[in-house]
Amino acid sequence: MASVYLYIPNLIGYLRFLLLALAWLYFEHTAPFLVFYSSASALDFFDGYIARKLNQVSSFGAWLDVMADNVGRSMVWTQVSSWGWIVVCLEWSVFVSTHQLGSKWKEKFENAPFWVKAVMADGFHTLPGGFVIIGIHVLPVVLYYRIYPFSWFPPQPLLLWSAVTILAAGRCLCAFVEMWVLYTQVTLLVQEDCRREQSRPS
């Protein structure tokens, strides 16, 4: 059991948390923040590959990976937008719902609407899935840069709002998927309660 904690992908997960802590310490200092935060985000694209390559896939690793994602985005969203708390609440609610299904939650959407399947198919490795992933990860960083830009490279209004519009569209598509997940989870829980109620002796 102890060896799971020392799997290489899980060590990368711990490193991501360390980088996020450093990003928080330097939140108002653009250059170090972007270095630490971007490094933590970039490692997200390697730990899954390494886990499969080394045959070190684990439920704990899948959980740790999404935890790091959510902690990082929550840190930024709560600081860059007055409505960021809505995004944070939605992401954590979905995290709780999906991880009741275990580490392979992405595969368990057989009865989902076509637009949900389009996003989730092949572990987000589709055009809609990529659009959503970019919106999820890049939008909070762009909003951060709007507040804490480099003095030598101030945000260009047209470029900034074009990027925000496109990224927000991806994030909104994700929000629709998240709301469907929550609706489905609530429905399953109520159905389970109804079956339990019906099975009780009268």
pLDDT digits (tens, 9 = 90+) for 54-81: 999 888 998 999 999 999 999 999 999 9
C-alpha span between 88 and 77 (Å, rounded): 7
- When mean pLDDT is compared over 39-53, 89-103, 155-169, the highest value belongs to 155-169
Quick one: pLDDT at residue 132? 96
Cα separation of 110 and 33, whole Å?
40
Q: How many CB atoms lie within 10 A of CB 173?
A: 20
Res 48 pLDDT > 90: no
Question: What is the three-class DSSP state of 110?
Answer: coil
Q: Is the pLDDT of residue 202 over 70?
A: no
Output the pTM of the full model: 0.88
Assess contact for 20 and 37: CB atoms under 8 A: yes
d(CA 200, CA 67): 38
Q: What is the predicted pLDDT for the residue at 187? A: 87
